[in-house]
Amino acid sequence: MSACQAAFSVLLLLVACGRSSSSATPPGNNEDAPLVRTCEEVQMRCAQRKGCGSALHAYLYQCNEVIQAGASQCPVPCQRALAALTSTDEGRGLSDCECGENDVCRKSKLRVEVCREAVEKLTAPGARIPCSVAFWMCEAEPQCGTALAYYYRYCRGAFHGKRCTPRCNNSLAILNRQPRSDTLRSCYCDGSEEFPCQKIRDRTDQLCYGRQEPSTTPKPGSAGTAVRPAGWPQLTVALLLLVSLATR
């Protein structure tokens, strides 16, 4: 099952928090046979991981309406939270967890199907995605999230238009080595970010990469009005630092 398809088993987390009583399927005699875990176990493993735990919290917050009441369309914030959660190893493991006989779990799984097409587009190989989604995906992976935090810490001068210091250059190089940072380099600013996206991109390009012309990141497809997410309750310290410093 692909990472995209895994998004539609994520809703099992709602029943995993103490409500799912199904047990894991015994592995049998074949040591190579995959172990199917209960949704409760998978949820706990995700919650204990820094990146996956934050992505899980965002999913439960942003997709609550879809899971609880059902919806004819998947809200944009829910799409993005699902994309971030299923970009993690633990999040992908949610596709294999057992729902057992829990009716709430099965109903929730059907309801979240409305998000399938949108999430598959966001997570398709080579897809250009909004920088807010790319940021959440990087934050959900511990090494990428740590590299991103150092980039914000050591490049604050560049964000203010001063200079790109050796420390900033080094932190940027480390960030660029992270596999998850590919989406950060190719993403586009669409106005949905809770940080000055285009300003940071332009100043990093000019001061650290020596590009004289400001970068342009047109939104692919239609030029309709961007939808601003309803807010992510688990913003990291790195993002808060960026907002407080880069907007002065």
Whether residue 94 contacts residue 39, with contact meaning beta carbons closer than 8 Å, is answered with yes
SS (H, E, C) 111-161: HHHHHHHHHHHHHCCCCCCEHHHHHHHHHCCHHHHHHHHHHHHHCHHHHCC
* d(C-alpha 111, C-alpha 70), whole Å: 5
* d(C-alpha 227, C-alpha 104), whole Å: 30
248 residues of the chain, pLDDT tens digit each: 444 444 344 443 433 343 433 444 444 444 555 566 777 777 888 888 888 888 889 888 999 999 888 888 999 999 999 999 888 888 877 766 777 777 777 777 788 889 989 988 988 888 889 998 999 899 888 899 999 999 999 999 999 989 999 999 999 999 999 988 888 888 999 887 877 899 998 999 999 988 765 555 555 443 333 333 333 332 322 332 333 333 33
3-state secondary structure of 36: strand
* d(C-alpha 228, C-alpha 94), whole Å: 27
Query: Taking CA 170 as the corner, what is the angle to CA 181 and CA 207, rounded to the nearest 5 degrees?
Result: 85
